[in-house]
Structure 1
């Protein structure tokens, strides 16, 4: 897991599966080894297609720079909660120029347009910049 993304999971599963099939063939369990190979190939062929019908949550990374005010984190949390946006991870750093840099990973509701994220903070005069 790096920066809220999982990498290498299918590769690891493939290595374990290949080892299992190899062990079955090595133990002279040819039927089990060949059957497992056929099943794995069929599953790979079927699941390789992009399933549009399967809803997947969309997540975004957002960087916000605020003026140094006491309730800036609470303001962000309230804004996201009122828009049904779940905060997965939040980190905040003080900048030397009297501002706070907040890095967020958020899970957006189904069908939420990520461009609407900018509109959430446009009415706050303490927001210096927003990037997503």
Structure 2
């Protein structure tokens, strides 16, 4: 029996480490050591929950719930996940890493409970999910840039909008306003665009600045990172 428990701990560690390697390569908040330990610890707690009280259960008159200790992992892992979630410039970061840790804990519990096929399947699906979404986001862009442009020519502002619409994957939303400055009406627009990298965002701004009568007042490349 001890050999089986040892193999469960090894398998849980390997599966958790596999997810951790993926996150480490992506430079995420939680890497291989965190996922390794979460999966190993979850498997250990599951084994203890199922088999650690056999001597007590054997006593007459005692009835224990074998899942009671393991159930605490589900709620307890939330503290680790919460520590990864931060709010920066009105943007929430770390949700995916927190969800990954939560899933890794579930995989550890599964393997610790002896459901090897389910644990391996969940690991494969998790890795496929991470990689597939990475590929998709590379296609549609993952960085958001906010910038403000101004012009005294309404037609020039329309050119900016048309440029962004032509590059349809970039434009997310925009707001336009106008005000009188002396005898001239100045049109101002705030745009949020999505790009694959900061370099792409910079190139896009250069194209906008090349439009006559358009001035880029402000650009923030850190939005949504």
* Length-normalised TM-score, structure 1: 0.53
Q: Is the counterpart of residue 89 in structure 1 residue 158 in structure 2?
A: no
Contact 2:171 2:192 in 1 (8 A): yes
**1 or 2, which has the higher helix percentage?**
2
1:102 matched residue in structure 2: 190
Q: Compute the displacement of 1:130 (Å).
A: 5.2
* Runs (5+) with no aligned partner, structure 1: none
1:9 partnered with 2:9:
no
Maintained 8 Å contact 2:154/2:187 = no
Cα-Cα RMSD: 4.8
Task: Specify the SS of the correspondent of 1:31.
Answer: coil
Q: Is the 8 A contact 2:146 2:193 kept in 1?
A: yes
Q: Which runs of 5+ in 2 are unaligned?
A: 1-86
**Greater percentage in strand:** 1
Kindly report which structure 2 residues correspond to 1:1-132, keeping only aligned pairs within 5 A, or say none: 7-19=94-106, 21-22=108-109, 30-32=113-115, 36=119, 40=123, 54=135, 56-57=138-139, 58=141, 59-67=143-151, 69-71=153-155, 74-92=158-176, 98-107=186-195, 113-117=200-204, 118-129=206-217, 131=219, 132=221
Larger radius of gyration: 2
In the alignment, the residues of structure 2 paired with residue 86 and residue 96 of structure 1 have an alpha-carbon distance, to the nearest angstrom, of 30
TM-score normalized by the length of structure 2: 0.36
2-structure distance, mates of 1:5, 1:93: 28
The structural deviation recorded for 1:16 is: 4.5
**CA distance in 2 between partners of 1:64 and 1:114 (Å):** 13
